[in-house]
Amino acid sequence: MTRLRFLLPVLCGCAMLTACNAGLSQQAAVEGTLTMEALSVLVQSTLAASVVQPTLPPPPVAPTATPQPELPAESPTPTATPAPAIPQATISQNTNCRSGPGTVYDLVYSALAGGSFTIIAGSTVPEYVVIEIPNKPGQTCWLWTRYASISGDVNSLAKQPVPPTPTPSVGFSLEYSRINSCVGWGIEFKVANTSGLTLKSYKVRVEDTDTGHTINQSADHFDKHQGCTIDTAISELDPGDSGFAYAYDFPYDPSGHALKGKVTACTELGLGGQCSSRSVDFEP
């Protein structure tokens, strides 16, 4: 009985301990379960945070259309422009071509009738153009257009400046004219003043090369004779004028003989001033 009394509290204690242990085990289990769930949630949260979400590339941008250059408008096919005709001068009479526009300039070229010449420049002086001398490239002269027919547009050419006027000098042309019979026989020459100076006197020398006979004569005028009389009185020769010079007193008729003539013309009376001479061979 005593032992029973002793055991009973023990057993009650054990039972209580067991019940307590059972309660503790159940609580532990519950806590364990809660802990596992919390751990699971924590793990899942951690894993979710640690997973790197892939970065998707931005959507492609649609290419912008490159503007096309505008094509140039078609140009009309150019039409070839014909080259302008080179102006020409065709002369109807023999014409002197000089170093400038006027008789005070030196004679450079004698243009024959029917010739056609290339005009390379115009002139501010009326009735003159500048032409190229045929067969002499680069050499020019001033042509008087009084007897010229002009083709082409001369106005399209540059105008050549007038050269300085040369220092005047005596100049004239000389040609045998005829035998003039008066007292004995005389030789007549035609004298044309081609200079810018006035001629007032002359001297003539004629030699007959067949006989050696020579005659000389001088005068202060350029009259035209008819026999022994004056047909036309010409006191002096201005620029461009013509007159006559004579050599008289041939004691015989020199017709058919070879003669040499020389005329000296001067700007003052009595063979004074500036003088110049011209010669000509002829057979009357």
pLDDT (tens, 9 = 90+) of the chain, 284 residues, equals 444 454 444 444 434 444 444 444 444 444 444 455 544 544 455 445 444 455 556 666 655 656 666 656 666 666 665 656 899 999 999 999 999 999 888 899 999 999 999 999 999 999 999 999 999 999 999 999 999 999 999 999 999 999 998 777 899 999 999 999 887 899 999 999 998 899 999 999 999 999 999 999 999 999 999 988 999 999 999 999 999 999 998 999 999 999 999 999 999 999 999 999 999 999 99
pLDDT (0 to 100) of residue 43: 45
Determine the distance from the C-alpha atom of residue 101 to the mean position of all C-alpha atoms in its chain, rounded to a whole number.
24
Q: Tell the burial category of 111 from Cβ atoms under 10 Å away from its Cβ (0-12, 13-18, 19+).
A: buried
Nearest C-alpha neighbor of 96 from the set 84, 113, 80, 120:
113
Using only C-alpha atoms, the chain has a radius of gyration, in whole angstroms, of: 67
Question: What gap in Å lies between CA 278 and CA 255, rounded to an integer?
Answer: 22
Structural contact between residues 127 and 144, judged by C-beta atoms closer than 8 angstroms: yes
Domain 88-156 in CATH 2.60.20.30: no
20: left (phi over 0), alpha (psi -120 to 50) or beta: alpha
The arrangement of strands across the sheet holding 272-282 comes to 214-219, 201-208, 259-268, 272-282
* Residue 34: predicted pLDDT: 44
9 torsion bin: left (phi>0), alpha (psi -120 to 50), beta (else): alpha
Q: Residue 158 and residue 148: Cα distance in Å, rounded?
A: 19
For domain 172-282, say whether CATH 3.40.50.300 is its number: no
Task: List Cα–Cα distances, 104 to 27, 167, 170, in angstroms.
Answer: 152, 9, 10
Closest to 97 (Cα-Cα) out of 65, 64, 120, 69: 120
Question: 166 pairs with which residues across the strands?
Answer: none
From the list 134, 107, 132, the residue with the least C-alpha distance to 121 is 132
Q: How far is CA 18 from CA 22, 28, 85, 166, in A?
A: 6, 15, 144, 162
Tokens 């809660």 label which residue? 34
Q: Which of 247, 219, 246 lies closest to 235 in space, CA to CA?
A: 219
**pTM for the predicted model, two decimal places:** 0.46
**Residue 131 forms beta bridges with which residues?**
119, 141
From-to residues of CATH 2.30.30.40 in the chain? 88-156
The conformational region for residue 179 under phi > 0 = left, psi -120 to 50 = alpha, else beta, is: beta
Start and end residues for every CATH 2.60.40.1940 domain found in the chain? 172-282
Tell me the two tokens of residue 274: 């500036």
DSSP E strand stretches across the chain: 88-91, 95-98, 107-111, 116-121, 128-132, 140-144, 148-151, 172-182, 184-193, 201-208, 214-219, 224-226, 229-232, 242-250, 259-268, 272-282
